[in-house]
């Protein structure tokens, strides 16, 4: 099976992609294109999957640059392949040939570009990182590298949608303490539960930060097991582990 790569016109002409799980070498609960070394999948299978991604991006695997994601607002500005992954949740570069990557399985992969300035970014944005400001931090780092905020386009890839993201009242309280206007991103669920619109919340923050263009591809990871890995779906199924989707962009 060939790779399935979701793209956006907003990031053209730069090479980029939100890779689905289709076309990979992993098997069992990881079946497909699992690119997460942090999973318990076979190391050889993950390496082969990442090599396929590198080939699709037109580079050797060593040019795939990532970080050790920790749900923070920290950003790394990259000038060469990282010999050792640093703890952060976003990357920025102005160096042609480097492929910025993030891994997700319900959290948001966000790819950024100011094509005219030759500056790109990639962020892993779960609820904690988004609330903490990882998206705004990425924009700041891109500006420091020469981008202009009003020219930057950001695209949110496959992520958990509101209809599948059930949370408790304490989760709502955490957001209301930050900004009472966040209530509009929560819908009533069963009993005392709520449904949280993570992509909608992220888009609102990006637009409030003055970005030129922002969109979500509209794909829900939880609801489409044939195409996407999902941490929450794995928890519901009581499976031992889950695969990680990769998203990538390069100059």
CATH number at residue 94: 3.60.140.10
In a domain, 189, yes or no: no
Could you tell me the residue range of the domain that residue 12 belongs to?
A: 5-161+197-250
Burial of 44 (0-12, 13-18, 19+ CB in 10 A): exposed
* 151 part of a folded domain: yes
Closest alpha carbon to 127 in 78, 99, 165, 86? 165
> What are the pLDDT digits (tens) for 96-151?
999 999 999 999 999 999 999 999 999 999 999 999 999 999 999 999 999 999 99
**Residue-level pLDDT at 84:** 65
Work out how many domains the chain is built from and give that number.
1
User: Bridge-partner residues for 118, per DSSP?
Assistant: none
Q: Is the pLDDT of residue 183 over 80?
A: yes
**Domain annotation covers residue 173:** no
Residue 242 lies in a domain: yes
Mean pLDDT over 82-107 rounds to: 93
Q: Is residue 98 part of a domain?
A: yes
Are the CB atoms for 52 and 20 separated by under 8 Å?
Answer: no
- Does the pLDDT value for residue 89 go beyond 90? yes
Within a domain: 192: no
Q: Which of 102, 107, 75, 80 is nearest to 91 (CA)?
A: 75
Averaged pLDDT score across all residues of the chain: 96
For residue 175, is it within any domain?
no
Within-domain flag for 107: yes
Please compute the mean of the pLDDT values over residues 61-73 and round it to a whole number.
Answer: 96
């Amino acid at each position: 099976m060939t790779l399935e790569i979701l793209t956006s016109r907003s990031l053209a002409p730069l090479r980029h992609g939100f890779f689905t799980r289709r076309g990979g070498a992993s098997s069992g609960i990881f079946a497909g294109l699992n690119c997460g070394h942090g999973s318990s999948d076979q190391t050889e299978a993950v390496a082969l999957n990442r090599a396929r991604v590198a080939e699709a991006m037109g580079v050797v695997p060593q040019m795939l640059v990532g970080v050790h994601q920790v749900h923070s607002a920290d950003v790394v500005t990259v000038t060469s392949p990282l010999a050792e992954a640093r703890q952060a949740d976003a990357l920025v570069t102005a160096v042609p040939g480097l492929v910025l990557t993030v891994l997700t399985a319900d959290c948001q992969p966000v790819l950024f570009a100011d094509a005219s300035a030759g500056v790109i970014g990639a962020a892993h944005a779960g609820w904690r990182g988004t609330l903490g400001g990882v998206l705004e931090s990425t924009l700041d780092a891109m500006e420091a590298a020469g981008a202009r905020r009003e020219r930057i386009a950001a695209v949110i890839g496959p992520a958990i949608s509101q209809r599948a993201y059930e949370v408790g009242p304490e989760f709502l309280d955490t957001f209301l303490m930050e900004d009472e206007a966040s209530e509009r991103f929560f819908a009533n669920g069963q009993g005392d539960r709520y449904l949280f619109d993570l992509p909608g919340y992220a888009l609102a923050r990006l637009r409030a930060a003055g970005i030129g263009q922002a969109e979500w591809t509209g794909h829900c990871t939880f609801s489409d097991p044939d195409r996407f890995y999902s941490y929450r779906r794995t928890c519901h199924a009581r499976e031992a582990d889950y695969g990680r989707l990769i998203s990538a962009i390069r100059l």
